[in-house]
């Protein structure tokens, strides 16, 4: 059997060919060739196909890479939390009792996280349910620290969620208030340690109560939008104050819940709250809080120590299968998606299954707005991937080009077009390497994004920039005309079985079927 190389074009799906379809607008001769001359199908990459509650839920890179790497469909983040809230099991957990008992002993209960119903990192419905239960159980003082979305939901929708939250707080009565906030791409929600300054700024905002003061969250959002012209995800931080004093600093000994269920942008702020030997930035006067995550975001690091809902226990991954057969693997991306081709690919596992059989390579991402440098690290990713192919050391290689997703989230159409073209150039060089070195090349994506850069107003027909993922299918192509694919409806979880077929390995019975025709 020939070795297999898999290219994941992050955020590149099949759009409608309209004015917001950056994939169609871009010059992509290599992708066009694959989709016209070689065996291909379209994969479902959202909703129930990746373990989310419904097909109205957008896919994301984390659940997408889980499905790609394990060949199975596991109930994921939102679905897990929905179930535990619906059954009341979340309120029976030792962690919930610990948080509430501490608050009832005279401390404040704080909720921190992304305020939207995007269902990618969080869902406001979870927050409202936890607030209701806290009130029911007699918690007297609650503060909410809101991170504005505009990325997994419409770009300027924050006031809708703030209004929903304010009305709920008012209905509960008592000392329940919003205390601070800011855009998710400005404070708190960095990932992969790309910009600790974001997390430090969030710390200063939520914990120290430092920042520009406003009487209400709505006033803050309206004022900062008018002054900066920024969409929600990029709004500066703000502090809610009365008589010149913040209404809700996070004090030592308080109870704090991070309501996000997705792990990548929850790890750094969790380290800041949980780690005694934390040194990424100064935490003046901090001695500790009773901290919990909605989930445990990293099982191997046991981070955070306390959590409300256990994550899925993913077993029988593709990597485990390949290690059993002594197949050498290679995984590559830049920082922004490095964790996706390693940690998420391997079923939320930190570290390698086998030091002998796995090689991981990370290229440091630039700390700039991605619309300013839409090529990102496509060129060094291509170079290193081709070099790895040429080495003939590996029987299975995978890489992720983040451009379509990370630049897609900026909402800047010309930059997204350039990003897609950069990926296509890299793809062309990898196709040439597959010919030269004798690889079977597979090309796919984890979800859509660049393929839908505008939303249309249902009433007026007006177009507005879209920064969220799409619900569109993604390609799966085999760069080999001798291969035949089955007819049928497939999803991301069918890719692992297909890789096993190409390598001549028997897949576990628990996997979704491979797509190669017999």
Residue 511 burial by Cβ neighbours in a 10 Å radius (0-12, 13-18, 19+): buried
Dig out the tokens for 445 from the structure.
């994506």
Find the distance separating the first CA and the last CA of the chain, reported in whole Å. 15
Strand 109-115, strand 358-363: pairing: unpaired
> Collapsing DSSP states into helix, strand and coil, what is residue 439?
coil
**Is the peptide bond prior to 228 cis by the omega test (within 30 degrees of 0)?**
no
The whole-number pLDDT of residue 338 equals 96
Domain ranges within the chain, ordered by starting residue:
4-76+313-503, 78-309
Tell me which residue of 6, 73, 40, 71 sits closest to 341, measured CA to CA.
6
Which of the residues 54, 61, 354, 369 is marked catalytic? 61
| Side-chain half-sphere exposure of 207, counting CA atoms within 13 A | 24
Calculate ∠ Cα 185-186-191, nearest 5°.
Answer: 55
The whole-number pLDDT of residue 457 equals 80
Tell me the CA distances in angstroms from 33 to 155, 225, 297, 447, one per residue in order. 34, 44, 40, 21
The whole-number pLDDT of residue 350 equals 84
The whole-number pLDDT of residue 300 equals 56
| Side-chain half-sphere exposure of 435, counting CA atoms within 13 A | 6
What fold is seen in the domain 78-309? Answer: 3.40.1450
Task: Determine the length of the chain.
Answer: 518
The whole-number pLDDT of residue 402 equals 97
Integer Cα distance of 182 and 199 in angstroms: 12
Integer Cα distance of 265 and 107 in angstroms: 27
Integer Cα distance of 390 and 494 in angstroms: 28
How does pLDDT run along the chain (518 residues), one tens digit per residue? 899 999 999 999 999 999 999 999 999 999 999 999 999 999 999 999 999 888 888 899 989 999 999 999 998 888 899 999 999 999 999 999 999 999 999 999 999 999 999 998 999 999 999 999 999 999 999 999 999 999 999 999 999 999 999 999 999 999 999 999 999 999 999 987 889 999 999 999 999 999 999 999 999 999 999 999 999 999 999 999 999 999 999 999 999 999 999 888 999 999 999 999 999 999 999 999 999 999 988 765 789 999 999 878 899 999 999 999 999 999 999 999 999 999 999 998 889 999 999 999 999 999 999 999 999 999 999 999 999 999 999 999 999 999 999 999 999 999 999 999 999 999 999 999 999 999 999 999 999 999 999 988 877 888 888 888 999 999 999 999 999 999 999 999 999 999 999 999 999 999 999 999 98
> Collapsing DSSP states into helix, strand and coil, what is residue 503?
helix
Asked if residues 439 and 3 have their Cβ atoms less than 8 Å apart, the reply is yes
The residue ranges of DSSP E strands in 171-243, in sequence order, are: 175-183, 213-214, 238-242
The answer as to CATH 3.20.20.60 being correct for domain 4-76+313-503 is no
The whole-number pLDDT of residue 299 equals 65
Residue 71 burial by Cβ neighbours in a 10 Å radius (0-12, 13-18, 19+): buried
Integer Cα distance of 420 and 496 in angstroms: 25
Q: Is 369 a catalytic residue?
A: no
Longest Cα separation, the chain: 74
Integer Cα distance of 197 and 137 in angstroms: 37
The whole-number pLDDT of residue 255 equals 98
């Amino acid at each position: 059997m020939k070795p297999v190389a898999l290219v994941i074009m992050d955020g590149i799906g099949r759009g409608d060919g309209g004015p917001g379809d950056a994939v169609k607008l871009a010059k992509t001769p290599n992708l066009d060739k694959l989709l016209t001359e070689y065996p291909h199908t379209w994969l479902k990459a959202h909703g129930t196909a990746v373990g989310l509650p419904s097909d109205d839920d957008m896919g994301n890179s984390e659940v997408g890479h889980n499905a790609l790497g394990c060949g199975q469909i596991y109930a994921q983040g939102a679905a897990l939390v929905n179930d535990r809230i619906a059954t009341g099991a979340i309120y029976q957990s030792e962690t919930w009792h610990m948080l509430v008992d501490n608050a009832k002993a005279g401390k404040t209960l704080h909720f921190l996280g992304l305020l939207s119903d995007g269902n990618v990192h969080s869902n406001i419905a979870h927050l409202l349910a936890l607030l209701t239960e806290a009130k029911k159980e007699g918690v007297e003082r609650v503060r909410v620290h809101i991170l504005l979305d505009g990325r997994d939901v419409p770009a300027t929708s924050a006031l809708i969620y703030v209004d929903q939250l304010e009305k709920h707080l008012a209905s509960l009565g008592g000392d329940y208030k919003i205390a601070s906030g800011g855009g998710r791409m400005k404070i708190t929600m960095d990932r992969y340690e790309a910009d600790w300054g974001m997390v430090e700024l969030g710390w200063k905002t939520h914990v120290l109560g430092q920042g520009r003061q406003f009487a209400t969250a709505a006033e803050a959002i309206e004022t900062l939008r008018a002054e900066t012209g920024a969409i929600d995800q990029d709004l500066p931080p703000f502090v809610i104050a009365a008589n010149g004093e913040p209404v809700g600093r996070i004090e030592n000994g308080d109870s704090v819940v991070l309501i996000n269920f997705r792990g990548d942008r929850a790890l750094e702020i969790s380290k800041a709250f949980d780690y005694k030997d934390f040194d990424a930035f100064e935490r003046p006067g901090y001695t500790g809080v009773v901290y919990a995550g909605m989930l445990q975001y990293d099982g191997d690091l046991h981070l955070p120590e306390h959590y409300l809902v256990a994550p899925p226990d993913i077993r029988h991954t593709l990597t485990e299968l390949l290690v059993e057969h002594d197949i050498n693997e290679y995984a590559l991306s830049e920082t922004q998606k490095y964790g996706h081709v390693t940690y998420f690919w391997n079923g939320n596992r930190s570290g390698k299954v086998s030091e002998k059989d796995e090689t991981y390579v990370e290229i440091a991402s630039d700390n700039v707005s991605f619309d300013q440098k839409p090529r990102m690290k496509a060129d060094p990713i291509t170079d290193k991937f081709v070099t790895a192919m040429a080495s003939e050391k590996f029987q299975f290689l995978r890489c992720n080009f983040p451009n379509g997703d990370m630049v897609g989230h900026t909402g800047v159409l010309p930059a997204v077009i350039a990003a897609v073209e950069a990926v296509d150039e890299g793809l062309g060089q990898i196709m040439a390497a597959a010919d030269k070195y004798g690889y079977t090349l597979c090309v796919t994506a984890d979800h859509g994004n660049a393929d839908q850069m505008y939303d249309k107003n249902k009433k007026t027909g007006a177009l507005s920039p879209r920064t969220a993922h799409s619900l569109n299918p993604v390609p799966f192509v085999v760069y080999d005309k001798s291969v035949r694919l089955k007819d049928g409806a497939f999803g991301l979880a069918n890719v692992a079985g297909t890789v096993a077929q190409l390598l001549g390995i028997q897949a576990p019975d628990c996997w979704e079927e491979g797509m190669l025709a017999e």
